[in-house]
Amino acid sequence: MTRLLIRGGHVVDPAHGIDAVQDLYVQDGRIVAPLPEVDETVDATGCVVMAGGIDMHTHIGGGKANLARMLLPEDHRGGSLELPSCGTCTPGTLAAGTRYVEMGYTAAFEPAMMAANARHTHMEMGDTPVLDHGAYVMLGNDELFLEMLARGEAYETIRDYVGWQINAAKAMGVKVVNPAGISAFKFNQRKLDVDEAHTHWQVTPRQVVQTLARALKELGVPHPLHIHGSNLGVAGNIESTLQTIAALEGLPAHLTHIQFHAYGKEGPKKFSSGALQLAEVVNANANISLDVGQIMFGQTVTASGDTMRQHAQSGFATPRKWVGADYELEAGCGVVPFRYREQSYVNALQWAIGLEIFLLVNDPWRVVLTTDHPNGGPFTSYPHLIKLLMNRGFREEQLAKLHPDVAAGAALKDIKRELTLSEIAIMTRAAPARLLGLRDRGHLGVGAAADVVLYRREDDMERMFSTPERVYKDGTLVAKAGTLVAAPVGGTHFVEPEYDTGIHKRLKRHFSDKGLVNFDHVAISHDELCRCCNGGRLLPAACFQGEAT
Amino acid sequence: MLSADAETVWTCPFCPLLCDSLQASRQPGAGLVLQRGNCAKAQAGLGRFETSTVAGALLRGRPAPVEQAIAHAAELLRCSRQPVFAGLGTDVAGARALFGLAVNSGAICDGGPALMQSTRALQDRGGFATSLAEVRERADVLLCLGSPPGERYPMFDERCALQPDDARWLVLAPGGEAPDYFAPVARLAALLEGRSVAAAPAELLQAADRLRGAAYAVVVIETARLGPQGALLIEMLQRIVASLNRKGRAAALTLGGANGTGTANAVFTWLSGLPLRTRLGPQGLEHAPLAFDATRLLAAGEADLLLWLASFGSEAPPPATHAGTPRILIGHPALAAEAADVFIPVATPGIHHGGHLFRTDGVVLMPLHPVPGLEGGGPQGLPSDEAVLRQLQAALQAASQAASAAQEAAA
């Protein structure tokens, strides 16, 4: 492979504390120490050089995404159709991969993979060009887990079950969605607070979260429990969020699309920002990381495993249609199209709350930039979001256009902080890589994978981050001036924690009794994963050793 | 450590329940039989495989080397102004390959009328779905139209732990056919919405009460039995589900997408962003669920080539075409009996090689396995449809390049 010199760029590599003009050498797809001679030199003068972007929470693959596409042919009408794939909030995989790469992203993680749908999820991600990918498998609403918890079975048994499930689904981590709530909805329970018992199993979300967070820590899975908490979207849900953090008792956890979980119920409209309260607790609890799930105004579609909450919100569907489902004794899904409006008090405040969280949490290593694509807005709005975070004047201009009560009253208008390039680099690549345990991604140190982006420096950050000059994936030039020039198949990240295989017998019985798929059919082998993912590289991430007790 | 054991696990590809409790085997001289389990549909599917006869490609009915057949098919595709791809009897790998060919030839792809009905209903109103294991675990009332699905899906009762004539069935318009369903379904939907229905028969009032009293009511929708206005029926049935979900719990189980059509729909949707009955034209994608009906397009002369893909052998026969409209048939060896410009026999996913198919509920993507002894296309050495489609795409690209080079030379 050619030896490449990227010369004279302004390298922003926060993992190594670098924010300066430097040369970068690439050989065999890796960043290397300075070489005596090279085959190609790229002049990066006037460019900002960063590692490839990593989106750790984006619904781009699997059942829900595909249902959303089927539900919304509207999303594909008009616009440019240069590809045999289209869409904005529900793009085809070919369009999604292309758009991500053209923006300088080189990896994306599907956060809500159902175990029963794991093969499908891997297939879609394999058909998403260029991007490396991985997925978090959903647990905590599966009847077996809830039954084990309800019967007070040995914790080690539950931990082995979690370990088996991660291996079987070839997952990168575990996500819990509305802990016990998706199952509870199948029993016609319409609400579940953190200390409220599931109507059938009598277990609480607190127990579910504690058990899963502990299991992941002991299994040595690098990414801690990925939590979509209780009461998503409900006014006053900041209480549930703080209770969930307390329930963790110091165990590491990642609270996802936290904007949707940071609502107070103050004020005349009984809907207020909980961002300050949240930020105080997060600043004081180093075990907690977040991604924001910023909302963006316009048409999108919300796709979630949270059947209970999506059913409750389905009356707001725009256009007026939605899909829900109960699936295989383990999960469910709800797909509700939605249009966020600037003149809606609630939507305007949601927008402000997201930005407040970005700006009030002190440590950028614990706040990841997401819109929870497509739930808060399509990922293609990231450059706009970056501009909002980096430019106070622009932010205030936008705020002034919103519902007058929000424009006048939001705490956001008094926040002066403007994020730096280095902080943006942390929130969009370095932090997600670290939170996922991707040791050779998200930075530009010697030995790192050569996922490198050159952004032409501009005053307008939205323009700068929309169309990078060049994007390299593992050393290969994949996009030039915002246009895809090569489409190698991306790799699959997953983890394989060790567990006691004695659990298999028990699981085989369960799968047979419940009429589920033949147990011998459940686990995805390496060979099959490779076929699902279109022959892309398998990238197993190392688990922490010696953590298990 | 965790890989599935292909020796002992088999998934039956002949109906969208995709049962993996059955086992097929090859009997010397007797073709394929069901060795474990009992299902008339599986037996019928297996019975179509004769492993001893020679199966080769045909050019206008005459044996030809497969390379020549592919080259001719590529030339027909190149000359076509609007090809239509239908049948779509394949698995994920075949559908992925077919998508590439469709993009290269600007084809319209159609998965058939029943699939269109559920797509239309979904696009107009959405719906609430459930899956087989949920039905088995929770259903205390099951609503269906005409008759329970057991006779069309012999394993349905076993999969859902239902007894023969299970008391949980609520059959609307018993013995009826599609046109009879509209009135009772509409009236039931109105009753459940709390509207007054003039002279509602006692059975209908009882049905509404049973559904309202259910802990988890399941509406079973067999898309292929609903007739040409099936989308409206599906919408009404989904309205029943939505009404029940306001206070209690209910969901719909769809039975459909057989012979790979549901799978092709899922694959085309994720790759392109749009479901079937879409044209992958040079100007971009065009989705027209009513207009892009393969049978209609061919009858009206709006399509000038048919590519029919039917690798399972359990598909319906290909549609009629006008004299002179090229027909490319790719599929089960028995398709040789159909008139065609080009016929290429291929292996069957789940018989000759592994693969993946979506189950009827659309959530479980089942792995397929070859029947022991038939791996790699069996004694006839049949190529997979995926391989044939990829060769066809390469041949089409080569033919197009050669043609434009010739044009340039002439100019």
Digitized pLDDT (tens) for each residue of chain B, 411 residues in all = 334 444 579 999 999 999 999 999 998 877 899 999 999 999 999 999 976 677 899 999 999 999 999 999 999 999 999 999 999 999 999 999 999 999 999 999 999 999 999 999 999 999 999 999 999 999 999 999 999 999 999 999 999 999 989 999 999 999 878 778 999 999 999 999 999 999 899 999 999 999 999 999 999 999 999 999 999 999 999 999 999 999 999 999 999 999 999 999 999 999 999 999 999 987 788 999 999 999 999 999 999 999 999 999 999 999 999 999 999 999 999 999 999 999 999 999 999 999 999 999 999 999 999 999 999 888 889 999 999 999 999 999 999 999 989 988 988
- Note whether B1 contacts A61, CB cutoff 8 Å: no
pLDDT of residue B88: 98
Chain A hits for B269, CB-CB cut-off 8 Å, are: 66, 69-70, 92
- Note whether A123 contacts B356, CB cutoff 8 Å: yes
Residue from the list A72, A515, A526 with its beta carbon closest to the beta carbon of B159 = A515
pLDDT of residue B52: 65
pLDDT tens-digit series, residues A167-179: 999 999 999 999 9
pLDDT tens-digit series, residues A249-296: 999 999 999 999 999 999 999 999 999 999 999 999 999 999 999 999
pLDDT-derived band at A1, boundaries 50, 70, 90: low
Q: Please report, to the nearest 10 degrees, the dihedral formed by the alpha carbons of residues A63, A66, A71, A73 taken in order.
A: 180
Determine the Cα–Cα distance for residues A301 and A323; give it in Å rounded to an integer: 11
- Note whether B272 contacts A94, CB cutoff 8 Å: yes
- Note whether A119 contacts B367, CB cutoff 8 Å: yes
Hey, of B20, B358, B364, B384, which one would you mutate to test binding to chain A, going by the most A CBs within 10 A of its CB? B364
Interface check B367 vs A, CB under 8 A: yes
Residue in chain B closest to A168 (alpha carbons) equals B2
Q: Check residue A546 and give left, alpha or beta (phi > 0: left; psi -120 to 50: alpha).
A: left
DSSP codes joined into one string, A80-146: ---SS---SSS--HHHHHHHHHHTTEEEEEEEEE-GGGHHHHHHHHHTS-S-EEEEEEE-SSSHHHH
pLDDT of residue A87: 80
Determine the Cα–Cα distance for residues A389 and A421; give it in Å rounded to an integer: 10
Residue B163's alpha-carbon distances to B136, B166, B220, in angstroms, are 12, 5, 16
Interface check A329 vs B, CB under 8 A: yes
- Note whether B4 contacts A81, CB cutoff 8 Å: no
Question: Distance from B356 to chain A by nearest Cα, in Å?
Answer: 9
pLDDT of residue A77: 63
pTM tops 0.95, yes or no: yes
In terms of Cβ atoms closer than 10 Å to its own Cβ (0-12, 13-18, 19+), residue B196 is exposed
- Asked whether A211 and A146 are in contact (CB, 8 A), the reply is no
- Asked whether B162 and B149 are in contact (CB, 8 A), the reply is no
Residue in chain B closest to A91 (alpha carbons) equals B273
- Asked whether A76 and A41 are in contact (CB, 8 A), the reply is no
**DSSP element (H, E) containing A186:** helix A181-186
Question: Distance from A2 to chain B by nearest Cα, in Å?
Answer: 29
Task: Give mean pLDDT, residues A6-34.
Answer: 98
pLDDT of residue A545: 62
Closest CA to A323 of A121, A76, A67: A67
